[in-house]
Amino acid sequence: MTSLAQQRVAGILYLFTMTALFFAQLYARGPAGFVLTARNVAAAQRLFRVGIISDLATFAGVVVLVVALYVLLGPINRTAAILAAFWRLAECLVLLIITLNDFAALLLLGLADSWRLLDVEQLQSLAQMLFSFRISGLHLLIAFLALESAVFTYLWLKSGYMERNRHVQSAPSSAR
């Protein structure tokens, strides 16, 4: 695979993972995603489940993206590429924990009718507690994403890939 093809694959994967992540966090869980209530989730369980599936697609895409970025940018500075890959995988792990918490809360809300050990209010309170972990998790996720993005951006700029591609893309237009 040529370097230009590898760059395009990495770019497409980056757009895919970010789109899936934003869909899950902002749309599927709603604009008030940070203050989810048990009643809101119970009313839109299907959309919430689609958000969980979107998170799972993000995990798969991120693993492939990290490999693609490491293959492309590792030769520029191997240590920095490993560090950025580690931060991106740490971000993915945080998102996985958030998603598992959301799934556990969804299960608790589904058990409200069949579980007689706790009443509905107690189950909703437990689910709300699990949803409240989302705020801290998203703060941590954003920190890892910022660190990883800064290092990978530095490596992209240092690699000269963007400059070379700009000349390749502008060459046909300057020949006219």
Mean pLDDT, each 10-residue run in order, the chain (176 residues): 80 87 75 54 78 87 90 93 94 90 78 64 76 83 92 90 60 49
H/E segment holding residue 113: none
What integer pLDDT is reported at residue 147 of this predicted model?
A: 95
What integer pLDDT is reported at residue 78 of this predicted model?
A: 95
Report CA-CA distances (Å) from 55 to 16, 43, 62, 107: 11, 20, 10, 17
* Overall pTM > 0.85: no
Q: CA–CA separation, 59 vs 143, rounded Å?
A: 17
Query: In which region does residue 160 sit, left (phi positive, over 0), alpha (psi from -120 to 50) or beta (all else)?
Result: left
Residues 6+ apart with CB under 8 A from 124: 37, 38, 39, 109, 112
What integer pLDDT is reported at residue 171 of this predicted model?
A: 47
What integer pLDDT is reported at residue 46 of this predicted model?
A: 84
What integer pLDDT is reported at residue 165 of this predicted model?
A: 58
What tokens appear for 26 in the block? Answer: 């902002």
